[in-house]
Amino acid sequence: MKKYFFIVLIIFVLSGFFYSLINAQEQEQEVPKGFIFYHYQYAYFDISLIYPENWINYSSQERGIFIYTPDSKGTLTFRATPLFGKEYTLAELYSVNMDTLKEAGAVFLESIPDKLAGYPAQRTLYTMKFGKDTLKFIRYDSIIGDLFYSFSFNAHEIDFEKYINDILKIVLSIKINGKNGV
């Protein structure tokens, strides 16, 4: 009888294990056609996202995530900066960053609360002139755990709208992994 009980117990444990594997695969993010799944991990920064397969990924451990549009007219960056245990609010860090941008000539078009990886974020839309070129930016800032996350995309103002749908898909796909995220 003990032998049968042991076999039933083993079957039960294995079936639970396989069920959890199947369930985990079902919960993984579905990658839309024409996009690539990308997982980036370095020291304290562990995230995953999708991006269009024809975009060029120049990410590195030293610089963070850098992905360019195929025509090199747009740049996506994503970085995390440690807060080193200091207690900041998103409003404080956001205010400092926006003051710096304003001093550099940014013209703010929109600034609204939003989400980044399911966490509260501030989304900002602005333009800046660089010589005779005007670039348009969309930026998401968030504090998650002990990190300040900043996602940004910029392109020439006249080209910006052709990328915005892909950018919004990328933002919605972002997952923060590890101790500073989910």
User: pLDDT tens digit string along 84-117?
Assistant: 888 888 988 888 888 999 999 999 999 999 999 9
Looking only at the bridges linking them, the beta strands covering 45-52 and 56-57 are: unpaired
Q: Indicate the pairing of strand 133-144 with strand 147-156.
A: antiparallel
Q: How far is it, in rounded angstroms, from Cα 176 to Cα 78?
A: 12
Instruction: Tell me, rounded to whole angstroms, the distance of Cα 176 from its chain centroid.
Output: 7
Output the average pLDDT for the chain: 84
The alpha carbon of 106 is separated from its chain's Cα centroid by a whole number of angstroms, namely 23
Quick one: average pLDDT of 151-156? 97
The least confident of 80-89, 127-136, 150-159, 168-177 is 80-89
Residue closest to 141 by CA, chosen among 101, 182, 84, 85: 101
pLDDT of res. 24:
38
User: In CATH terms, is domain 31-176 a member of 3.40.1000.10?
Assistant: yes
pLDDT of residue 97: 86
Instruction: Read off the tokens for 27.
Output: 């919960």
111 vs 30: CA distance, rounded Å: 30
Confidence class for position 9, pLDDT limits 50, 70, 90: very low
